[in-house]
Amino acid sequence: MGGKTESKPASTIFFNQAEAERPKTVNSRFWLVSLAVVAAIAAGLWTIERRAPKAAPVVPAVPVSAIQAKQGNFDIYLSQLGTVTPLTTVTVRSKVAGQILKINFKEGQTVQANQSLFEIDPRPYQAQLVQYEGQLARDKATLDNARITLQRYRVLFQQGVIANQDLDNQQALYHQALGAIENDQGLIDAVKVNLTYCEVLSPLTGRIGLRLVDSGNYVQPTDNLVVVTQLQPISVIFSVPEDNIQKIMKEMSGSDPVPVQVWNRDFSSQLASGFLLTFDNEVDQSTGTVKLRAQFANDNFELFPNQFVNAKLLLSTLHDTVLVPTAGVQRTQQGSYVYVVMPNKTVARRTVTVAATQGDVTAIGSGVQAGDIVVTDGLDKLQPGNPVAVRMEKNTQTTSVENGSSTNVSE
């Protein structure tokens, strides 16, 4: 009884084994269906993306600075280094010997023409004047006596009382007395001139320098006393290449004077405005240049003798030309071009002809019109057709300088 084992029917065993294997079969089918659905969806999306039109890539706007091209007059200057040179400089010298009694000026002051500068002791010359005047009076008396005697001898000669030789001798004495009178008069005039030289006068209106002698010194003729320099007007001497002489001569032949400006060394300030006065009569063969002299009123003493300045001579003027900043003009071996901002905020490349360039202003002959927006900064990132974000600059600069040259723009 205890060793019996119950045996199950075969149908029961098969049923239990099928029940055990059913979940594995269901799971496999589920994953296969899911994969098929995902593959179908992916294939559909790929087909839709392939058939749909592709959108153009978005190009970001390039930030640039730009300015509006203007129309105006373009003044072309020739600039050279020059030296302020007085029109007149006089070294005042003593013309007589004597002791300086008084100095009638202060060093560095502006003196007028014929103003008294020094007083030299006149007493030796006054004594000479008295001496020569006394000698003249004596010789006049001798002349009167010789004239009376000559008249008497003429009567006696006509009467046959004296010989012809006696008459000739008396006539010679008379002419000798006349000569003595003239000699005395010359001595008196010379002393009077020396007396006037005892007061040393300024030969011109100008600035007086440091005195070279002091009061109480004894001076000799030709001794230097002081230097007087004319400052108003004053001139600037500068040299230009000989190739420009013909053009300058043509400008000078006109009715209007040729304008000349003077600037300081670094072109940061204009000192004075004047006109071309004249030029030298020969070319310096060692430099190939010709010296020019320009004159300036120097009302406020902006210019000082021997000062180094930059002189700018107006050579010509381009009228009603298109003006753009030089920074906006690009140059290649094929020519020059600029980038112009179009109404749709893209840029176009324009080939231009440059009429003249000085400093940061360029005159355009063709390719750009007044009013066009020209790019001045950010050019290295541009290509034709690029969209741009424009920052407009103010066109307020009217004067530019480059290597000593300048351009004035007037509308």
Read off the pLDDT of each residue in 231-250 and give the average, rounded to a whole number.
93
**Cα–Cα distances in angstroms (integers) from residue 317 to residues 68, 75, 77, 281, in the given order:** 22, 4, 9, 27
Query: Is pLDDT at 379 greater than 90 in this prediction?
Result: no
pLDDT recorded at residue 304: 93
Residue 326 DSSP one-character state: G
Question: CA-to-CA distance for 139 and 183, rounded, in angstroms?
Answer: 10
13-17, 361-365, 390-394, 404-408 — which one is most confidently predicted on average? 361-365
Residue with tokens 């190939």: 288
pLDDT recorded at residue 15: 42
CATH architecture observed for domain 96-228 = Beta Barrel (2.40)
Phi, psi of 302 (to 5 degrees): -70, -30
pLDDT recorded at residue 100: 97
Query: Is pLDDT at 23 greater than 70 in this prediction?
Result: no
Structural tokens at position 196: 């006037």
Helix 164-197, helix 123-158: angle, nearest 10: 160
The pLDDT tens digits of the residues spanning 113-140 come to: 999 999 999 999 999 999 999 999 999 9
Domain boundaries, the chain: 63-74+317-410, 79-87+232-316, 96-228
In which band, very low, low, confident or very high, does the pLDDT at 333 lie, cut at 50, 70 and 90? confident
pTM as predicted: 0.66
Give the percent of the chain with pLDDT over 90.
60
Read off the pLDDT of each residue in 30-52 and give the average, rounded to a whole number.
63
Go through the chain and tell me how many residues it has. Answer: 411
The pLDDT tens digits of the residues spanning 255-309 come to: 889 999 999 988 889 999 999 999 999 999 999 999 999 999 999 999 999 999 9
Flag the least confident range among 108-112, 134-138, 402-406: 402-406
89-93, strands of its sheet edge to edge: 89-93, 224-229, 206-208, 110-111
CATH number for the domain formed by residue range(s) 63-74+317-410: 2.40.420.20
Question: CA-to-CA distance for 62 and 403, rounded, in angstroms?
Answer: 33
CATH number for the domain formed by residue range(s) 79-87+232-316: 2.40.30.170
pLDDT recorded at residue 342: 92
pLDDT recorded at residue 392: 87
